[in-house]
Amino acid sequence: MKNGGDLSCVETAFEGIMRGDDVLESLIAGVNIVELDPEDTSVGYGGLPNADGVVQLDSCCMHGPKKQAGGVASLEGVRTPSLVAKAVMDYTDHHLLVGPGAQRFARNMGFDIEDDLNTERSRQQWLDWKRRIDPEHYLDPHKRTDAGHQAGMDMVREGLIREEDYYGTINCNGVNANGDVCGVTTTSGLAWKIPGRVGDSPILGAGLYVDGEIGAAGSTGRGEANLFGLCSYLIVEEMRRGQHPKDAGMEALRRIRKATIETRLLNDRGLPNFNVKFYVINRRGEHAGVSLYSPDDSYVYSVCTEHGARHERLDGLLEGSASG
């Protein structure tokens, strides 16, 4: 996606790195393209809203050489949460600001605050979801949660929402010729989430982890599964012990599979009924994309090098798909 421009996210990031720009600034310039794209419902402006129809955004970033980090969660009204996360890193002594406090900080930093980040598309999809769960009736908490999730998954199966947009996240990691490693993750979070829900994306060690001496890892997919094991941190630690990015990512996926025991989270094969993906790079530039499931050639991640941008197939841990 290029949002009307000439370059995609990874191409923009790579171009900045090759110019000698700071790696993190280059990565954020890349994800800004998607955050600002009204046609992309996974992050930023027009991201799928929470259960109340409000777009709440999460992001974090880490600078390997500087050993600094910043993040925001449940941020409303700012189209580019990745830039606010970087401002938290640059201008505060904190790693994470949330909710109204994050918005006040963004206003103080000069960011434009908008009343509503919905586009007509995201608002209509939310209305479709609300109609499906029949808000006129009060259900017990378990049935209401199940109804909301089922409605969302029905919309995915019907092709109204991409699975990637339902979980809705971008992770972008990069390294330059000097071995400077940085990363950024940004998201509108789980579609139709409980207001105030924060997933893995803005949490250091979960949605993103960078060690400038080792490498970087980030995630998309079911955030709760990733949060439970702080898997991005785990992946970087596996690389510290000498593992290749692919092997390190697979170890994290095996941990997720082992920790998934609740019946509601299992398909008819007794395996996780959701997907999680990791994007991993080490200081030498070796990289991998791994996924719990990668059933077909549409499961890819983007790479950009001196040879240009390309898609590479995600390596799957489990056969088949999450649905069974």
**CB burial class (10 A; 0-12, 13-18, 19+) of residue 43?**
buried
Domain count, the chain: 1
Strand pairing partners for 300? Answer: 313
Is residue 155 in a domain? no
Give the pLDDT confidence score for residue 70 in this predicted structure.
98
Tell me what pLDDT residue 167 has: 54
Q: Which domain holds residue 256?
A: 9-116+163-318
Whole-number pLDDT of residue 142: 57
Residue type, 256: I
Burial 124-143 (b: 16+ CB within 10 A, else e): ebbeebbebbeeeeeeeeee
Mean pLDDT by 10-residue block, N- to C-terminus, for the chain (324 residues)?
A: 82 97 98 96 94 95 98 98 98 97 98 97 89 59 62 70 66 97 94 90 97 97 94 98 98 98 93 96 98 95 96 97 88
CATH number reported for the structural domain that contains residue 256 in this entry: 3.60.20.30
Domain assignment present for 17 = yes
| Of 12, 80, 119, 169, catalytic | 169
Rounded to an integer, what distance in angstroms lies between the CA atom of residue 66 and that of residue 89?
10
Separation between Cα atoms, residue 75 and residue 102, nearest integer Å:
6
Assess contact for 257 and 197: CB atoms under 8 A.
no
Domain assignment of residue 200, yes or no: yes
Q: Is residue 145 part of a domain?
A: no
Query: Is 132 within a domain?
Result: no
Predicted local confidence at residue 210, as pLDDT: 98
The predicted structure's pLDDT at residue 169: 87
- Is residue 199 situated within a structural domain? yes
Please name the residues in contact with 300: beta carbons below 8 A apart, sequence gap of 6 or more: 289, 311, 312, 313, 314
Check if 169 is active-site: yes
Q: Is residue 124 part of a domain?
A: no
158 domain-assigned: no
List the beta bridge partners of residue 213.
none
